[in-house]
């Protein structure tokens, strides 16, 4: 197996052609208008498969940024007045178009981000699923009614769209996270401005190429969906911009703290989806084979670069050795290489900086007294030298190690013993700053209920007998503590994209005051 892109050259050319992705790409799009390159700071887009250049991108300049925001503001005035079910119809059509291009877009995700093809295809399916969800949501933007204490008065609550919503997404889910936000925001009557990761601008451009056909066919106003290409400076502008009432940001905890502080300083709103330090508890009453499958996918899927990746495995001492032996044997069989080769289960890391962080984490494990049980090396040889390939790693550690307390964005699984009752495992589980996803494997009803109780997992997602990774779009996605507290995708997450308003109507002929106050003039 070779990882040279020329091995798949015809496939790459075909995918780029079908998705209308060029070697040099525009710096912004307002849904239907594509801006030419403006002479800003340019950079090369590479594939982590071989680190070869697959395109060029350019920072949006100040003039372009102002054009996008002003266009979005004008579009909002018109879009908010379109009935929500008709807004949903636009999203329905986009979902149909995504179905047509699912394979090509999934391949592009793999080329640009290094995900194995099945994960790339799965991410596009998430986009399709959220479109379906949003269509239904467009007819269920419910308010509430309540009884007034005053005679001949009626009270109710309703929701109104906010305005332009800024979306800042990360490389590891280059298209799905945008769709979670943008499709729901659109049916709510908002317009969106999306800044994708500078490491994955091509997939974003492809999404807008597909979307543009739907917008033009339905005569949707320019500026309802907007794309801005650039680095941190563009995200900073968006965070500071009073004209953007909501910023939804996905990324690291340090990034989220900066965005949160900046937006809060102007009393704006945020949806923050930040780091995870996700753990699975394995008790003596678990189905070990099921637990092994979930653990391996959670730990090595997307090469450990998901926010929901399994980073810690908390194992009862009575089964610890058995679990470690089983995992080691599985890790030895993992096929690593070109993510477009469907025989492979693990692809490359996103770039060489990520590889350096992987190596740093290994050094810290040993410095703090941990033990590398398996893995712990950068892969070398003809089939790996050009890319960012590392060996998924198992390490025996203590939960209090500084490196274990961090979100190590790499395929390193920390193995931690616990003894006694499940409450001891839960205490270890919760003893980190992050709170995104969590899981327990047990066939003991009392243990599973303890994990889900008020004294159980402190994460936004808590699973029983499934892993930490691979959430469905029907449930609200997000976490607690330093994960940021935001919620996206399903359930009632739509409320974050709207402003809440209480209305009282007096249909009588007198003017009674609340709380029985008398005020005669």
- Check if the beta carbon of residue 191 is closer than 8 Å to that of residue 78: no
Which residue is catalytic, options 58, 104, 119, 273? 273
The strand ranges marked E within 132-251 are 144-147, 153-161, 164-168, 191-195, 225-228, 246-250
Q: For strand 53-58 and strand 437-441, is the pairing parallel, antiparallel, or unpaired?
A: unpaired
Three-class SS state of 462: strand
Three-class SS state of 378: strand
159, β-bridge pairs: 500
Three-class SS state of 120: helix
Active site residue 273: yes
Give the count of beta carbons closer than 10 Å to the beta carbon of residue 136: 11
Residue 353 makes CB contacts below 8 A (sequence gap 6+) with none
Cα–Cα dist 248/42, whole Å: 25
Cα–Cα dist 385/182, whole Å: 38
- Check if the beta carbon of residue 339 is closer than 8 Å to that of residue 348: yes
Which residue is catalytic, options 307, 406, 447, 488? 307
- Check if the beta carbon of residue 194 is closer than 8 Å to that of residue 6: no
Cα–Cα dist 296/301, whole Å: 8
Only one residue has tokens 């779009």, namely: 473
Give the count of beta carbons closer than 10 Å to the beta carbon of residue 480: 16
Only one residue has tokens 């050319």, namely: 13
- Check if the beta carbon of residue 471 is closer than 8 Å to that of residue 518: no
Establish how many alpha carbons lie within 13 A of residue 344's alpha carbon, considering only the half-sphere containing its beta carbon: 22
Cα–Cα dist 249/428, whole Å: 29
Give the count of beta carbons closer than 10 Å to the beta carbon of residue 257: 14
- Check if the beta carbon of residue 367 is closer than 8 Å to that of residue 29: no
Active site residue 482: no
Q: For strand 53-58 and strand 480-481, is the pairing parallel, antiparallel, or unpaired?
A: unpaired
Residue 24 per-residue DSSP state: B
Task: Output the CA torsion 192→197→202→207 (10° steps).
Answer: -30
Catalytic residues: 273, 307
């Amino acid at each position: 197996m070779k990882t040279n892109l020329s091995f798949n050259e015809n496939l790459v050319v075909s995918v780029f052609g079908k998705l209308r992705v060029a070697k040099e790409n525009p710096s912004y799009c307002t849904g239907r208008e594509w801006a030419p390159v403006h002479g800003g700071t340019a950079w090369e887009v590479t594939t982590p498969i071989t680190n070869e250049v697959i395109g060029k991108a350019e920072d949006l300049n100040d003039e372009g940024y102002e054009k996008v925001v002003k266009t979005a503001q004008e579009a909002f005035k018109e879009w908010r007045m379109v009935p929500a079910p008709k807004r949903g119809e636009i999203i329905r059509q986009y979902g149909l178009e995504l179905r047509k291009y699912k394979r090509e877009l999934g391949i592009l995700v793999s080329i640009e981000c290094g995900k194995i093809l099945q994960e790339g295809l799965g991410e596009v399916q998430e986009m399709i699923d959220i479109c379906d969800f949003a269509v239904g949501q467009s007819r269920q933007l419910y308010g509430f009614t309540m009884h007034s204490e005053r005679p001949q008065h009626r009270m109710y609550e309703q929701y109104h769209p906010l305005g332009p919503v800024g979306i800042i997404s990360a490389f590891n889910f280059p298209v799905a996270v945008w769709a979670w936000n943008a499709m729901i925001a659109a049916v709510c009557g908002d317009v969106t401005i999306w800044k994708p990761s500078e490491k994955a601008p091509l997939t974003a451009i492809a999404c807008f190429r597909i979307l543009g056909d739907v917008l033009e066919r339905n005569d949707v106003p320019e500026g309802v969906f907007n794309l801005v290409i650039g680095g941190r400076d563009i995200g900073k502008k968006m965070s500071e911009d009073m004209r953007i009432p909501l910023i939804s940001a996905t990324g690291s905890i340090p990034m989220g703290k900066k965005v949160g502080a900046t937006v809060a300083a102007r009393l704006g709103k945020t949806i923050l989806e930040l780091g995870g330090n996700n753990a699975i508890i394995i008790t003596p009453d678990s189905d070990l084979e099921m637990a092994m499958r979930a653990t391996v996918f959670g730990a090595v899927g997307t090469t450990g670069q998901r926010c929901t990746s399994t980073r810690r495995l908390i194992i009862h001492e009575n089964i610890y050795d058995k679990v470690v032996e089983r995992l080691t044997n599985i890790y030895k069989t993992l096929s690593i290489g070109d993510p477009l080769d469907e025989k492979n289960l693990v692809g490359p890391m996103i770039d060489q900086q990520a590889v350096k962080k992987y190596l740093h984490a290994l050094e810290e494990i040993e410095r703090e007294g941990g033990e590398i049980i398996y893995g712990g090396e950068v892969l070398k040889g003809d089939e790996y030298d050009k890319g960012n390939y590392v060996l998924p790693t198992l390490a025996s550690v203590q939960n209090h190690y500084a490196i274990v307390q961090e979100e190590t964005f790499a395929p390193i699984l920390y193995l931690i013993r616990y003894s006694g009752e499940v409450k001891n495992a839960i205490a270890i589980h919760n003893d980190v700053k992050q709170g995104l996803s969590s899981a327990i494997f047990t066939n003991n009803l009392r243990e599973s209920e303890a994990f889900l109780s008020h004294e159980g997992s402190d994460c936004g997602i808590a699973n029983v007998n499934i892993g930490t990774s691979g959430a469905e779009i029907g449930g609200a996605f997000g976490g607690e503590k330093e994960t940021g507290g935001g919620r996206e995708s399903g359930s009632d997450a739509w409320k974050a994209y709207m402003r809440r308003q209480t209305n009282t109507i007096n249909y009588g002929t007198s003017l009674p005051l609340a709380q029985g106050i008398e005020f005669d003039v």
